[in-house]
Chains A and B, each alone.
Chain A
Amino acid sequence: GAVVSQHPSRVICKSGTSVKIECRSLDFQATTMFWYRQFPKQSLMLMATSNEGSKATYEQGVEKDKFLINHASLTLSTLTVTSAHPEDSSFYICSASVPGQGIKTEAFFGQGTRLTVV
């Protein structure tokens, strides 16, 4: 299957700093990528849809100024957690689907990033 690479896998940062997480599609071009957040032992909650060349679409309740998304190329989307606080500590996962698959929307996921804000 297609490969989505996410980096870093783990990051620890100080409260008040910003952290950037990268999501790359390695063997296909992704016009759309998705960013999820997952709390321990819970499901994935969609945060935003990242669209190449345009603004991201955020889900209700997600602060766009806090979670900055940039999708500058067809293979890279970045999520920047700005002015991080301990409550932002979570597991962040990106995904992308291979375009042109019609209604077959199998998604390929990155390995996830464990963010700990201290």
Chain B
Amino acid sequence: SQQGEEDPQALSIQEGENATMNCSYKTSINNLQWYRQNSGRGLVHLILIRSNEREKHSGRLRVTLDTSKKSSSLLITASRAADTASYFCATDGERFGNEKLTFGTGTRLTIIP
């Protein structure tokens, strides 16, 4: 299986704290993306980081990428109750134009008000 691993599997923190999730993958990539899924719903794209980038910010989100370790992290700062969801990393193949995504196992984040 090409599926990546995410840790932790579940994370509960107090509102206002920062949440960090990690993702490891197995093959060379073009991009790594993070998605959010609210319970029983589709996925919402959060941020994309290219293989030649090391860090990217978007609002309260900060993503890092270490291609030598084949790992990425997602940091959500100043968490809010609305951030409660499952978070997945997804990688695409190194071949140009490969749109097929491989998802990590996901982290279930619970923000306690």
Decide whether A and B assemble into one complex. Answer: yes
**A residues lining the B interface (CB < 8 Å):** 1, 4, 6, 32, 34, 36, 41-46, 49, 91, 93, 95, 97, 102-112, 114
What would 7 A/B residue contacts be, using CB atoms closer than 8 Å? Answer: A32-B99, A34-B99, A44-B43, A93-B42, A105-B31, A105-B92, A110-B42
Contact of B106 among A43, A103, A104 (CB under 8 A): A43
B98 CB–A CB distance under 8 Å: yes
Cα(A39)–Cα(B41), bound, Å = 13
A interface, over-half SS = strand
- Report the Cα distance A62→B44, complex, angstroms: 25
- The interface residues of chain A lying within 8 Å CB-to-CB of B41 are 111-112
The residue among B31, B41, B98 with the most chain A CB atoms within 10 A of its own CB is B41
Q: How far apart are A64's CB and chain B's nearest CB, in angstroms?
A: 17
Interface residues of B (CB under 8 A from A): 3, 30-31, 33, 35, 40-45, 48, 50, 88, 90, 92, 96-106, 108
Q: A44-B88, A112-B41, A112-B42 are in contact. Are A106 and B100 (CB under 8 A)?
A: no
- Which B residue sits closest to A94, measured CB to CB? B42
Q: Which residues of B contact A4 (CB under 8 A)?
A: 42
- B residues in contact with A43, CB < 8 Å: 3, 88, 103-106
User: How near does chain A come to B1, taking the closest CB pair, in angstroms?
Assistant: 9
Shortest CB-to-CB span from A11 to chain B, Å, is: 14
Complex Cα gap A109–B35 (Å): 10
**What's the minimum C-beta distance from A31 to chain B, rounded to whole angstroms?**
10
Residue in contact with B42 in the complex, picked from A34, A104, A111, CB distance below 8 Å:
A111
Contact across chains for A49 and B100 when beta carbons are under 8 A apart = yes
User: Distance (Å) between the CB of A118 and the closest chain B CB?
Assistant: 18
Q: Is the CB of A46 within 8 A of B100?
A: yes
Q: How far is the CA of A114 from the CA of B42 in the complex (A)?
A: 11
Whether A97 contacts B99 by the Cβ 8 Å rule is yes
A107 & B45 in contact (Cβ 8 Å cutoff): yes
B14 to chain A, nearest CB (A): 23
Most buried by B among A32, A41, A91: A41
For residue A104, which residues in chain B have a CB less than 8 angstroms away from its CB?
A: 31, 48
Q: A44-B88, A104-B31, A109-B44 given. 20 additional CB < 8 A pairs?
A: A6-B42, A34-B100, A34-B101, A42-B105, A42-B106, A43-B104, A44-B43, A45-B3, A46-B101, A46-B102, A93-B42, A103-B31, A105-B31, A105-B33, A105-B101, A106-B45, A107-B99, A109-B35, A111-B41, A112-B40
